[in-house]
Amino acid sequence: MNTAITILIVILVIFILWQVFIRILRRYLDFPAPAFIGNFLDSDFRRRMQSPDKIISRSGIKEGMKVLEVGCGSGAFTTFVARAVGDKGEVFALDIQPEMLKQIENKLKRSENKDIKNIQLIEGDALNMPLEDNYFDLVYSITVFQEIPDKNKALKEIKRVLKPNGVLAITEFLPDPDYPLKSTTVKIGTSEGFISDEVEGSFWNYTARFIKPDN
Protein backbone atom coordinates (compact mmCIF):
# COMPACT_ATOMS: atom_id res chain seq x y z
CA MET A 1 0.00 0.00 0.00
CA ASN A 2 1.46 3.38 -0.85
CA THR A 3 2.23 5.97 1.85
CA ALA A 4 -0.49 8.45 0.84
CA ILE A 5 -3.23 5.82 1.19
CA THR A 6 -1.84 4.71 4.56
CA ILE A 7 -1.87 8.33 5.82
CA LEU A 8 -5.45 8.79 4.59
CA ILE A 9 -6.61 5.63 6.35
CA VAL A 10 -4.87 6.68 9.59
CA ILE A 11 -6.56 10.14 9.42
CA LEU A 12 -9.94 8.52 8.77
CA VAL A 13 -9.56 6.10 11.68
CA ILE A 14 -8.50 8.94 14.06
CA PHE A 15 -11.50 11.01 12.87
CA ILE A 16 -13.96 8.14 13.48
CA LEU A 17 -12.48 7.32 16.91
CA TRP A 18 -12.67 11.02 17.88
CA GLN A 19 -16.32 11.19 16.80
CA VAL A 20 -17.20 8.05 18.77
CA PHE A 21 -15.26 9.20 21.86
CA ILE A 22 -16.92 12.66 22.01
CA ARG A 23 -20.39 11.27 21.31
CA ILE A 24 -20.05 8.77 24.18
CA LEU A 25 -18.69 11.51 26.49
CA ARG A 26 -21.61 13.79 25.56
CA ARG A 27 -24.09 11.20 26.82
CA TYR A 28 -22.78 11.77 30.34
CA LEU A 29 -21.31 15.29 30.33
CA ASP A 30 -22.43 18.68 29.03
CA PHE A 31 -19.56 20.96 28.12
CA PRO A 32 -18.97 23.67 25.53
CA ALA A 33 -16.36 23.28 22.79
CA PRO A 34 -13.05 24.19 24.47
CA ALA A 35 -11.68 27.67 23.73
CA PHE A 36 -8.33 26.26 22.56
CA ILE A 37 -9.97 25.11 19.31
CA GLY A 38 -10.80 28.77 18.55
CA ASN A 39 -7.93 29.10 16.07
CA PHE A 40 -9.09 26.08 14.12
CA LEU A 41 -12.72 27.26 14.12
CA ASP A 42 -11.68 30.67 12.82
CA SER A 43 -9.38 29.38 10.07
CA ASP A 44 -9.45 29.80 6.31
CA PHE A 45 -9.18 26.00 6.06
CA ARG A 46 -12.49 25.66 7.89
CA ARG A 47 -14.13 28.45 5.87
CA ARG A 48 -13.12 26.66 2.65
CA MET A 49 -15.38 23.82 3.79
CA GLN A 50 -18.11 26.04 5.27
CA SER A 51 -18.38 29.11 3.07
CA PRO A 52 -19.58 32.20 5.01
CA ASP A 53 -21.45 33.45 1.90
CA LYS A 54 -23.44 30.24 1.68
CA ILE A 55 -24.28 30.25 5.39
CA ILE A 56 -25.39 33.90 5.17
CA SER A 57 -27.60 33.26 2.16
CA ARG A 58 -29.06 30.00 3.50
CA SER A 59 -29.79 31.64 6.87
CA GLY A 60 -31.64 34.53 5.20
CA ILE A 61 -29.33 37.23 6.62
CA LYS A 62 -29.90 40.52 4.77
CA GLU A 63 -28.77 44.13 4.85
CA GLY A 64 -30.24 46.22 7.67
CA MET A 65 -31.21 43.27 9.89
CA LYS A 66 -30.70 43.08 13.63
CA VAL A 67 -29.20 39.64 14.17
CA LEU A 68 -28.08 37.57 17.14
CA GLU A 69 -25.41 34.88 16.87
CA VAL A 70 -25.81 32.32 19.64
CA GLY A 71 -22.45 30.69 20.44
CA CYS A 72 -20.26 32.94 18.28
CA GLY A 73 -17.07 31.20 19.48
CA SER A 74 -13.93 32.87 18.12
CA GLY A 75 -15.98 34.70 15.48
CA ALA A 76 -15.31 32.62 12.37
CA PHE A 77 -18.45 33.99 10.69
CA THR A 78 -19.33 37.06 12.77
CA THR A 79 -17.33 39.61 10.77
CA PHE A 80 -18.81 38.30 7.51
CA VAL A 81 -22.32 38.67 8.94
CA ALA A 82 -21.51 42.17 10.24
CA ARG A 83 -20.54 43.21 6.69
CA ALA A 84 -23.62 41.52 5.23
CA VAL A 85 -26.05 43.43 7.48
CA GLY A 86 -24.10 46.65 6.89
CA ASP A 87 -24.05 49.95 8.79
CA LYS A 88 -27.80 49.98 9.32
CA GLY A 89 -27.79 46.46 10.75
CA GLU A 90 -26.61 45.14 14.10
CA VAL A 91 -24.90 41.92 15.19
CA PHE A 92 -25.03 40.76 18.79
CA ALA A 93 -22.48 37.96 19.30
CA LEU A 94 -23.21 35.90 22.40
CA ASP A 95 -21.07 33.18 23.94
CA ILE A 96 -20.93 31.51 27.33
CA GLN A 97 -17.10 31.41 27.38
CA PRO A 98 -15.20 34.64 27.98
CA GLU A 99 -12.08 32.99 26.47
CA MET A 100 -13.93 32.69 23.15
CA LEU A 101 -15.13 36.29 23.30
CA LYS A 102 -11.56 37.43 23.97
CA GLN A 103 -10.52 35.81 20.68
CA ILE A 104 -13.18 37.63 18.67
CA GLU A 105 -12.35 40.86 20.49
CA ASN A 106 -8.71 40.49 19.38
CA LYS A 107 -9.86 39.71 15.87
CA LEU A 108 -11.89 42.93 15.75
CA LYS A 109 -8.79 44.94 16.73
CA ARG A 110 -6.93 43.81 13.59
CA SER A 111 -6.47 46.49 10.94
CA GLU A 112 -8.58 44.64 8.34
CA ASN A 113 -11.57 44.73 10.71
CA LYS A 114 -11.30 48.33 11.86
CA ASP A 115 -14.23 49.30 9.61
CA ILE A 116 -16.61 47.01 11.56
CA LYS A 117 -18.58 48.99 14.13
CA ASN A 118 -21.82 47.04 14.36
CA ILE A 119 -20.86 44.04 16.53
CA GLN A 120 -21.68 43.86 20.23
CA LEU A 121 -20.04 41.06 22.20
CA ILE A 122 -22.14 39.57 24.97
CA GLU A 123 -21.06 37.05 27.57
CA GLY A 124 -24.13 34.99 28.35
CA ASP A 125 -25.88 31.65 28.34
CA ALA A 126 -28.33 30.73 25.61
CA LEU A 127 -30.58 29.50 28.40
CA ASN A 128 -30.93 32.94 29.97
CA MET A 129 -29.92 35.69 27.58
CA PRO A 130 -29.43 39.24 28.83
CA LEU A 131 -31.39 40.60 25.87
CA GLU A 132 -34.67 42.44 25.21
CA ASP A 133 -37.90 40.78 24.08
CA ASN A 134 -38.91 41.00 20.38
CA TYR A 135 -35.68 42.73 19.32
CA PHE A 136 -34.09 40.63 16.57
CA ASP A 137 -35.08 39.97 12.96
CA LEU A 138 -32.98 36.83 12.92
CA VAL A 139 -31.11 34.54 15.32
CA TYR A 140 -28.52 32.10 13.99
CA SER A 141 -26.21 29.47 15.40
CA ILE A 142 -23.47 27.49 13.69
CA THR A 143 -22.40 24.14 15.18
CA VAL A 144 -23.72 25.15 18.60
CA PHE A 145 -27.19 23.83 19.22
CA GLN A 146 -26.24 20.29 20.23
CA GLU A 147 -23.90 21.67 22.91
CA ILE A 148 -26.77 23.34 24.73
CA PRO A 149 -28.01 21.04 27.50
CA ASP A 150 -31.65 22.23 27.59
CA LYS A 151 -32.53 22.86 23.95
CA ASN A 152 -36.19 23.60 24.64
CA LYS A 153 -35.29 26.28 27.16
CA ALA A 154 -32.86 27.81 24.64
CA LEU A 155 -35.59 27.78 21.97
CA LYS A 156 -37.98 29.57 24.35
CA GLU A 157 -35.31 32.22 24.95
CA ILE A 158 -34.67 32.60 21.22
CA LYS A 159 -38.39 32.93 20.62
CA ARG A 160 -38.59 35.61 23.30
CA VAL A 161 -35.88 37.80 21.73
CA LEU A 162 -37.10 37.34 18.13
CA LYS A 163 -39.68 39.67 16.58
CA PRO A 164 -42.92 38.06 15.32
CA ASN A 165 -42.14 36.36 11.99
CA GLY A 166 -38.44 36.48 12.92
CA VAL A 167 -36.14 33.74 11.63
CA LEU A 168 -34.11 31.15 13.51
CA ALA A 169 -31.34 29.59 11.35
CA ILE A 170 -29.44 26.57 12.67
CA THR A 171 -26.38 25.44 10.73
CA GLU A 172 -24.73 22.07 11.33
CA PHE A 173 -21.54 20.56 9.91
CA LEU A 174 -20.49 16.88 9.97
CA PRO A 175 -16.88 17.13 11.20
CA ASP A 176 -18.37 18.60 14.40
CA PRO A 177 -18.62 15.62 16.79
CA ASP A 178 -22.05 16.95 17.88
CA TYR A 179 -23.42 16.91 14.30
CA PRO A 180 -27.12 15.89 14.15
CA LEU A 181 -29.06 14.71 11.10
CA LYS A 182 -31.36 17.25 9.38
CA SER A 183 -34.42 15.41 10.69
CA THR A 184 -33.14 15.75 14.29
CA THR A 185 -32.62 19.50 13.89
CA VAL A 186 -36.07 19.98 12.35
CA LYS A 187 -37.67 17.95 15.16
CA ILE A 188 -35.92 20.01 17.85
CA GLY A 189 -36.50 23.33 16.05
CA THR A 190 -40.25 22.81 15.75
CA SER A 191 -40.70 21.54 19.30
CA GLU A 192 -41.30 25.02 20.77
CA GLY A 193 -43.84 26.28 18.23
CA PHE A 194 -41.42 27.47 15.55
CA ILE A 195 -42.60 26.75 12.02
CA SER A 196 -40.15 24.84 9.83
CA ASP A 197 -39.34 26.94 6.75
CA GLU A 198 -36.61 25.29 4.67
CA VAL A 199 -33.54 23.12 5.05
CA GLU A 200 -30.80 24.01 2.56
CA GLY A 201 -27.37 22.54 1.90
CA SER A 202 -25.90 19.08 1.76
CA PHE A 203 -26.20 16.09 4.09
CA TRP A 204 -22.99 17.10 5.90
CA ASN A 205 -23.30 20.90 5.82
CA TYR A 206 -26.80 22.32 6.07
CA THR A 207 -28.89 25.18 7.46
CA ALA A 208 -32.41 24.68 8.81
CA ARG A 209 -34.59 27.79 8.98
CA PHE A 210 -37.57 28.27 11.27
CA ILE A 211 -40.08 31.10 11.66
CA LYS A 212 -41.50 32.46 14.89
CA PRO A 213 -45.27 32.65 14.40
CA ASP A 214 -46.75 36.12 14.79
CA ASN A 215 -49.29 35.23 17.51
Ligand X SMILES: C[S@@+](CC[C@H](N)C(=O)[O-])C[C@H]1O[C@@H](n2cnc3c(N)ncnc32)[C@H](O)[C@@H]1O
Per CB under 6 A, 148 contacts ligand X: yes
Nearer to ligand X, 69 or 90 (CB): 69
Choose which of 96, 122, 199, 211 interacts with ligand X (CB under 6 A). Answer: 96
| Spatial separation of the C-alpha atoms in residues 147 and 66, rounded to whole Å | 24
Stretch that binds ligand X, among 83-91, 110-118, 125-133, 200-208 (CB under 6 A): 125-133
Minimum Å gap between C-beta 200 and ligand X is 17
Q: Which is nearer to ligand X, 65 or 169 (CB)?
A: 169
d(CA 134, CA 19): 38
Instruction: Supply the minimum distance, in Å, between the C-beta of residue 192 and ligand X.
Output: 16
Question: In sequence order, what are the beta bridge partners of 210?
Answer: 168, 196
Least Cβ distance, residue 199 to ligand X (angstroms): 18
C-alpha to C-alpha distance for 167 and 163, rounded to whole angstroms:
9
Parallel, antiparallel, or unpaired: how do β-strands 205-211 and 66-70 relate?
A: unpaired
Burial, 160: exposed, middle or buried (Cβ in 10 Å; 0-12, 13-18, 19+)? middle
Residue from the set 142, 158, 162, 169 that interacts with ligand X by CB under 6 A: 142
Of the residues 127, 174, 186, 211, which one makes contact with ligand X according to CB under 6 A = 127
- Write the CA distances from 213 to 68, 70, 100, 142, 196, integer angstroms: 18, 20, 33, 22, 10
Letter for the amino acid at 19? Q
Is the Cβ of residue 70 or residue 188 nearer to ligand X in the bound state? Answer: 70
Instruction: Identify any residues that bridge with 119 across adjacent strands, giving them in sequence order.
Output: 91
Touching ligand X, residues 17-36 (CB under 6 A):
32-33
Interface contacts to ligand X, rule CB under 6 A: 32-33, 41, 70-73, 76, 94-97, 100, 125-127, 142-144, 147-148
